Amino acid sequence: MTDPVKTGELIAARRKRLHMTQAELGEKLMVSAQAVSKWESGQALPDAALLIDLAAALYTSADYLLRGGAAEAQFTRAVSVADTVRAVECLAEARRLMGRDNTIWQGMAEGVEARMNTDLDELLSTDFLRECTVVELLCQALEQGAYVDPEEAKSLLKHDHWRNMVLARCERKGILPRKAE
């Protein structure tokens, strides 16, 4: 049976760990700070329709919140799609600045090629292939237990094929997009 006090304590602890105010969490979920306060004090439980979005906002699962922390399906970290895109863009810029004949670049490229069985220069050659690289990094992170925000993937990934691949992987990991109101 769900213990509202324990659930509230978990919500408060996870929110604080993320350096989020009650108002900020409420804004993400389109509820008032007072509603969040009631959950955290054990006076009320979140509406069932909000549980998936609440769990995603706190980087955990609805099951974890409702079971009072038992059988936690917590994510190991949050991976930003924007930061991943930027990292791949920086890699392409490093190649441009150093040049393909630079020893450091060659060492990095050889390492990637040996581990991934792919040509790094080719992966950075077009927008489509750079986004493929971003998606590979995101899928690896998801497989390693990371949280990737499906809404961020929807808004930042330009190519339908790659966007759908990340969204499908998120869904398999129990990370669902927030429902439009």
Share of the chain above pLDDT 90, in %: 61
pLDDT digits (tens, 9 = 90+) for 45-66: 999 889 889 988 888 878 778 8
Burial class (CB in 10 A: 0-12, 13-18, 19+), 121: middle
Question: What pLDDT is attached to residue 122?
Answer: 92
User: What tokens does 70 get?
Assistant: 């038992």
pLDDT digits (tens, 9 = 90+) for 12-50: 988 988 889 999 999 999 999 999 999 999 999 999 889
d(CA 160, CA 45): 38
Sign of CA dihedral 84, 51, 55, 138: negative
**CATH no., domain 4-66:** 1.10.260.40
pLDDT digits (tens, 9 = 90+) for 101-121: 999 999 999 998 998 888 999
* Numbered ranges of CATH 1.10.260.40 in the chain: 4-66
Share of the chain above pLDDT 70, in %: 93
Sign of CA dihedral 130, 135, 140, 145: positive
Question: What pLDDT is attached to residue 181?
Answer: 41
Q: Is 50 helix (H, G, I), strand (E, B) or coil?
A: helix
